[in-house]
Amino acid sequence: MNPRHVLLALVVVVIWGVNFVVIEVGLEGFPPLLFSALRFFFAAVPAIFLLGRPRVAWRYVIAVGLALGVAKFGLLFLAMDHGVPAGLASLVLQSQVIFTVLFAVLVLRERPRRTQVAGIAIACAGMVLILLDRGLGAPVGALALVIVAGMSWGVSNTVTRHAKPKDTLRFMVWVSAVAVLPLLGLSMLTEGVGNDVDALRNISLTGAGAIGFLAFVATLFGFGVWGFLLRQYDASTVAPFSLLVPVVGMGAAWVLRGETVGLQQAIAAALIMGGMACTVIRRRTPHKAVPERVLTESAYQRV
């Protein structure tokens, strides 16, 4: 990957790692589905009037909106509201890497390199270590919701790769707009209109700040850049960067929320970072020497 694109991917990783702590804070003042709906409302509705229609087929916008906005984030917020801590959620959600590579192979016919497969295997070993260390105390049903959210993210990555939107910011804005009404409807049906109204009436500065961070930084900037990278590179090249998200997520949860990080988790984080390094290694192909006779003939052809 281009070094500048690697840097962009790492910036998104940091944002998405901190994002889990922000979600946990925001859930203290909002029902989970309403919180997710508000996040996408402020990310999308003001911007669609400025940016105009998306430049890809509507079927891609709707598919990513439902897979990413409704399924991934709706399930993630529900799982965290039901007891999955921020650090653990940031880890389990990265099961999306496995689903993304699998869907890319089955649907897009991409062929991951051996170093990518090895890197993902090493990083997954680190994820298992953390899961064994921390996951047994979390509700099993809530953990399952996070895994399904990871699968939904894998679907979204694959559809985005296939759609190849030229304007990723515009695409992400419309994807966010698609998610608003389904999430709001589900919130009213399952969380209750009264609870939603009470949450909006009693909104605090902390809650408003959480919505702002999720809407503008994590959604518009983060997924705008992510979609740009998926358009430039194979999904199996871009997706493994997200394996660093749990490292940042656990660090942020430790610093900001007091979640502890033990020796086993530190070893697991090192495995994840090592696996991540393997996924970006490419074998250099040596340049073949061109015979002098061929160079001479080419020179004459350009005269």
pLDDT band at residue 160, thresholds of 50, 70 and 90?
confident
Higher pLDDT, 4 or 262: 4
| Separation of CA 237 from chain center | 14
Give the burial class of 132: count Cβ atoms within 10 A of its Cβ; 0-12 exposed, 13-18 middle, 19 or more buried: exposed
- What DSSP line would sit under 149-178, residue for residue? HHHHHHHHHHHHHHH--S-HHHHHHHHHHH
CA distance 33 to 74: 6
Distance CA 160, CA 51 (A): 19
- Please check the confidence at residue 153 and state whether its pLDDT lies above 50: yes
Please write the tens of the pLDDT for every residue from 207-238.
999 999 999 999 888 878 887 887 788 766 78
pLDDT one-digit tens code per residue, 115-140: 778 877 887 887 787 677 655 566 77
Look at residue 287 in the predicted model and tell me its pLDDT: 44
Cα angle value 280/286/289 (rounded, 5°): 160
What average pLDDT does this structure show over 40-48? 85
Residue 134: the pLDDT is 59
Count of CB atoms within 10 A of residue 85's CB?
Answer: 20
Do residues 227 and 64 lie in contact, with contact meaning Cβ atoms separated by under 8 Å? no
294, pLDDT greater than 50: no
pLDDT of the residue at 300:
29
pLDDT score of 50: 78
How many Å apart are CA 18 and CA 13, to the nearest integer? Answer: 9
Q: What is the mean pLDDT of residues 38-44?
A: 92
Q: Give 164's pLDDT tier (boundaries 50, 70, 90).
A: confident
**How does DSSP classify residue 233?**
S
Spatial separation of the C-alpha atoms in residues 25 and 207, rounded to whole Å: 8
d(CA 123, CA 270): 9
Please give the torsion angle defined by the CA atoms of residues 101, 23, 227 and 66, in that order, rounded to the nearest 10 degrees: 80
Report, as an integer, the average pLDDT of 104-121. 77
Q: What is the 3-state secondary structure (H, E, C) of 256-293?
A: HHCCCCCHHHHHHHHHHHHHHHHHCCCCCCCCCCCCHH
Overall pTM surpassing 0.85 (yes/no): no
Q: Is the confidence at residue 101, as pLDDT, over 70?
A: yes
**Binning pLDDT at 50, 70 and 90, where does residue 41 land?**
very high
